[in-house]
Amino acid sequence: MEGTKENIQKMFADLCPEAVRKIDVLLHDDATPIAAQVQLIGMILDRTMGKAETPIKVTNVQENIEAAQEELMAIVCEIQEEMRIEEAEEQLRLEEKNESADD
């Protein structure tokens, strides 16, 4: 087959049914990584629905990571404080139990 634009387009058009079947298999296969599934879904939506007219705003990832880290650290500190309080209360209970046993 000659390498004209029309011939190449025909070759690719002939492969379309097989490509769609393969996409379907990959999309529904639990072994396919989520990132690959998301790419497939995006590709399908772009081809069928058209690309979004409004660009999606991407926030500063580093700022989001730092904010999440700060929030997690605050939670960790809160949990550690609660654990210290619980340990102190438990220690008091043990001391009170020992004192009452000594009486």
Q: Read off the pLDDT band of 55 (50, 70, 90).
A: low
The answer to whether residue 98 scores a pLDDT higher than 80 is yes
65 token code pair: 């990571």
pLDDT for the residue numbered 50: 81
Q: Decide: 7 and 1 in contact? Cβ < 8 Å.
A: yes
Cα separation, 11 vs 14, whole angstroms: 5
Q: Read off the pLDDT band of 48 (50, 70, 90).
A: confident
Q: Is the CA virtual torsion 64, 66, 68, 71 positive or negative? A: negative
The answer to whether residue 17 scores a pLDDT higher than 60 is yes
94 token code pair: 């043990």
Mean pLDDT of 9-21: 89
Cα separation, 65 vs 55, whole angstroms: 22
Q: What is the mean pLDDT of the chain?
A: 85
- Full-model pTM: 0.42
Cα separation, 81 vs 89, whole angstroms: 12
The answer to whether residue 83 scores a pLDDT higher than 80 is yes
Question: How many Cα atoms sit within 13 Å of 69 on the Cβ side?
Answer: 6
Q: Read off the pLDDT band of 103 (50, 70, 90).
A: low
